[in-house]
Structure 1
């Protein structure tokens, strides 16, 4: 079971690396913001899978804090882009 969880985490890491391409080469700022949010979500999932696979409940705390920071970042970027006039 542990091997499957860690293999799943490795798959999500590969997906995150693919998403990083969109962060760098996104045609618009909105694409980059969505890609950064997706990378943050993938990071939370990887941390949760590693915590379950290695039986390390402390890593779940890190995943929770990272998820909250990702949410605050998304709201802050959205507010900044709306005020700047780049979204609507």
Structure 2
């Protein structure tokens, strides 16, 4: 039963990832592209978590945590660059 739930999760998250990729490529504004990239990071984190559940190991959960921290910092830095034109004050 858990196999079917994992398969459904992988399919749904892969579809969401593809739709975010479409928004990233065809986004009319730069803000749409930044938000699509941030949402893609969230989708990748969820895919890593599902793979960790499937493999029953905790290594993938730690990798997802590191990826979440990197995604948050990069989104904040890019938004700060868009607002001010400089990341470091």
Q: Which has the higher contact order (CA 8 A, sep 6+)?
A: 1
* Shift >4 Å, 4+ stretches: none
Alpha-carbon deviations, 1:13-52, whole Å to 9, x = none? 1210111011011000000000000000010011111111
What displacement does 1:2 show? 3.1
Give matches, 1:1-88, under 5 Å. Answer: 1-84=2-85
When structure 1 is superposed on structure 2, of 57-66 and 29-38 the one drifting more is: 57-66
Could you tell me how far apart the structure 2 residues matched to 1:46 and 1:9 are? 7
- The more displaced of 34-43 and 49-58 is 49-58
Q: Could you tell which deviates more after superposition, 45-54 or 25-34?
A: 45-54
TM-score, normalised with respect to structure 2: 0.87
| TM-score, scaled relative to structure 1 | 0.88
Q: How many residues align?
A: 84
Q: Give ranges in structure 1 of 5+ residues lacking alignment.
A: none
